[in-house]
Amino acid sequence: MKMTRMSTMLAGATALCAVAGLERKDADLLAEIKKSVGELGKDFEAFKDTNKQRWSEIDKKKSADVLLEDKLTRIGDNVDKLVEQKAALEKSLEQEKKEREELELRIERGEISEKGDHKKELELKQFNLALSAHLAERGQKQVQVDMKGMEDYKKAFEAFCRKNTLTPEEQKALAAGSDPDGGFLLPASTQAGIVKKLYETSEMRSICDVMTIGTDGIEGIEDLGEAGAAYAGERSTSGDSTTPQVGKWAIGTWIIDTEPKITQKLLDDANVDVEAWLGSKVGDKFGRFENSEFVVGASKIRGITSYPMLADSGSGVAWGSFGYVPSGASGAFASSSPADALFDLVGALKNGYLPGASWVTKRSVITAIRKFKEATTLAYIWQPGLQQGQPERLLGYPVNRMEDMPTIAANSYSMAFGDFRQGYQILDRQGMRTLRDPFTAKPYVKFYTTKRVGGGAKNFEAVKFMKFATS
């Protein structure tokens, strides 16, 4: 009993040390954010001063000095760098705070133990969920793995990654998550690392609705109509018999894969953490691929820019298409009052979507917009986030930088504005699978890893686009 109590006390002390370490890391991140904010404020003021000089030169000489233009570009590039640096630091701080709060909560509940039972129970639950979906998909009998079975599976998976032969015990341990072609489910801890990497890489996931499912897709109801209403008399009805119409939308999932490879010699080295390496490489590749598909995909995952676009005068467009507002010039903003098109784009969105609305565009578009001013007050319509946790804003709404958005060109849709959480749905199919291939890329061993993901629009009036054209 004394030994158990001592072990619990030691585990609790270790956890408290971990909390203190996270707090120190938080303090360091806060200091870096504060420094970035200070530099950002100075550079933005320098940008405004230089732009003022530029306009003065244009008024006097009908053209800006080349050196002044170059200086403005360099300051703008540095502003972009600081904005993105601040956003990355704030994302890291948010993750650190979340980990610390979860750890503190577990200490308060008395869930910290020497063996980390709570964490293992959560991992076991995740593994069984993935396993159930994996087996159901193949019409196989579902099973529940216990703690020992999961630990045996993880050890066998490590052996599977390192070598091409397995002992009978290892083959038995992997049987629960196996396929006839030799593929195996990734352990829950590896999957969690990949998912975390996906969230860090794919910006669309942070602003859209994300759902994990156990089937090959989902369907929903489109409520597109409304009932009629009119005046009725004392002894008569209005005669209005309008009946609302409903439709159906469906989004499926698709297999995506990657093939990271590593030499057999390195795999044989006991110091190599194969699971961590695999999780990092797979997460990075899947994240970049997904983010591109969620924006521009057209064949399987439907990217948000792949749908038909129709000019929107403010009354909306036919369902199944997104509305757009023209910029006023082909492949550019209008030369006169260029900010007006941005105000028009905000005005095209219904009031109900404005509280959750944000901008999506790429860095080069923000660079052009940064020089725009509001006509009456002459205030810049783009503002950097000069406080911790405050993002850069355009006309008061947050900006999400996505380099997968189209580059400005004639008739391009390089900007979007709206509530993406209501407008776009991302689906994750439970479970990832890997197949060890030591043959096709000798002396490398490839790890063919697959997952299923889907995406598509679900509310076409929640997002509007800017078309870089005259009409």
| Residue 88 one-letter amino acid | A
Peptide bond into 326 cis (omega under 30): no
Residue 378 falls in which region: left (phi positive, over 0), alpha (psi -120 to 50) or beta: left
Handedness of CA 434, 436, 439, 442 (dihedral sign): positive
Question: Could you give the angle at the alpha carbon of 169 between the alpha carbons of 163 and 172, nearest 5°?
Answer: 95
| Pairing state between β 209-213 and 424-429 | parallel
Tell me: the pLDDT tens digits for 327-337? 999 999 998 89
Three-state DSSP at 416 gives: strand
Considering only CA atoms, which of 353, 355, 359 is closest in space to residue 422?
353
d(CA 426, CA 72): 39
pLDDT for res 21: 53
At 79-137, the pLDDT tens digits run 999 998 888 888 888 877 777 777 677 666 665 554 445 566 667 777 777 777 767 76
Residue 44 has pLDDT above 70, yes or no: yes
pTM of the model: 0.77
Distance CA 154, CA 189 (A): 9
CATH numeric code, 309-426+459-467: 3.30.2320
Alpha helices by DSSP H, listed for 138-218, are: 147-162, 168-174, 188-201, 203-207
pLDDT of residue 138: 67
- Look at residue 361 and tell me whether its pLDDT is greater than 50: yes
How many Cα atoms are found within 13 Å in the side-chain-facing hemisphere of 146?
1
Pick from 319, 316, 315: nearest CA to 307: 319
H helical segments located in 308-450? 340-347, 363-369, 420-423
Helix axis angle for 188-201 and 274-296, nearest 10°, is 40
Domain ranges of the chain: 2-109, 117-185, 309-426+459-467
